[in-house]
Amino acid sequence: MTESDAGVSPWPLLGPDEPPPVEVVNADGAGSAVLLCDHASHRVPQRLGTLGLDADRLADHIGWDPGAGDVARRLSVHLDAPLVLSGYSRLVIDCNRPLRSAESIAERSAGVPVPGNRGLTPAERAARIDALFRPYHDAIARLLDGRARRPTLLLSIHSFTPVLNGPPRPWHIGVSYGRDRRFAALLLGALARSGEFVVGDNQPYPIEDDIDYTIPVHGEGRGLPAAMIEIRQDGIRTAVDAAAWAARLAEAYRLIEAEALSLSGSSGS
């Protein structure tokens, strides 16, 4: 199925009293950073119930990135940065997966079957795309269009579970990149400077066109320096811890900001 024959949604997925699919914070922020949070919420549209999962499961890491939104909001304040957050669970539709990906609307996530995602019709798929995926990415595109003449560095903020199908993951934080490592390399250096933290270089996840959507489309597609930040979830469980990581990220960003901005518009590949 291509993106253009995905079907026409017959009804709106979100009721009139439900939260919007996207939240834009500090849209007119004067800083050079634009922050994105693809997996900020584990909310599911009322119309879809709980996707056949326990509420506990939905609130677990398969449903969202715990703590990521909290860190992103605090970082937005530090850097006076606009921030765009997705309002619904990645299990309804994952805003960081290409629509062609089997993980866009995952029938299994980290080994857990998602009953509400099995056997969807093209119209049911289209309803999720129209109600959630498109508004989120349209909001990002509008924001970036509106500041096309201003130097911009793009950061998406995620969190990862400390253990996934294997031994504990050693990284406290990771910085991931696609074709152009230069902006990420600056951040990696700044975050590793204190020697306090294990910093993943393209770990725990690299950015790949078949798996990722946000950075390839909004960053690489526009020639903006862009990187994905992944913070280990046990390091941001409390507000105090989230605030500490936001402050560290802000400090690292400021250290490398001028040099990173000089990368804008120059090809690194």
Please give the residue ranges that form the binding site for Zn ion (CB under 5 A): 39, 65, 158
The two structure tokens encoding residue 196: 């306090």
Phi, psi (5° rounding) for residue 5?
Answer: -105, 30
Can you name the residues that pair with 34 across neighbouring β-strands? 154
The DSSP result for 166-217, as a single string, is SSPP--SEEEE-SS--HHHHHHHHHHHTTS-S-EEES-S----TTT--HIII
Q: Which is nearer to Zn ion, 65 or 180 (CB)?
A: 65
Nearer to Zn ion, 14 or 37 (CB): 37
CA 256 to chain centre: 22
Alpha helices in 9-153 (DSSP H): 55-58, 68-79, 122-128, 134-146
Q: Least separation, in Å, of the C-beta of 1 and Zn ion?
A: 25
Looking at beta carbons only, is 32 or 89 nearer to Zn ion? 89
Q: How far is the CB of 138 from Zn ion (least distance, A)?
A: 20
Q: Whose CA is closest to 249, among 101, 76, 113, 109?
A: 76
- Shortest Cβ 159–Zn ion spacing (Å): 7
- Name the minimum Å distance from CB 106 to Zn ion: 13
Closest CB to Zn ion among residues 226, 263: 226
Residues 6+ away with beta carbon under 8 Å from 221: none
Q: State how far the Cα of 260 lies from the Cα of 226, in Å rounded to an integer.
A: 10
In the complex with Zn ion, the residue whose CB is nearer, 187 or 263, is 187
In whole angstroms, the minimum distance from the beta carbon of 155 to Zn ion comes to: 13
CB of 204 to Zn ion, least distance (A): 11
The answer to whether 60 touches 91, Cβ cutoff 8 Å, is: no
Closer of 69 and 225 to Zn ion (Cβ): 69
CA-only gyration radius of the chain, Å: 18
14 alpha-carbon distance from chain centroid: 21
d(Cα 237, Cα 65) in Å, to the nearest integer?
11
User: Least distance in Å: CB of 65 to Zn ion?
Assistant: 4
Q: Considering beta carbons, is residue 39 or 42 the nearer one to Zn ion?
A: 39
In the complex, residue closest to Zn ion by CB: 158
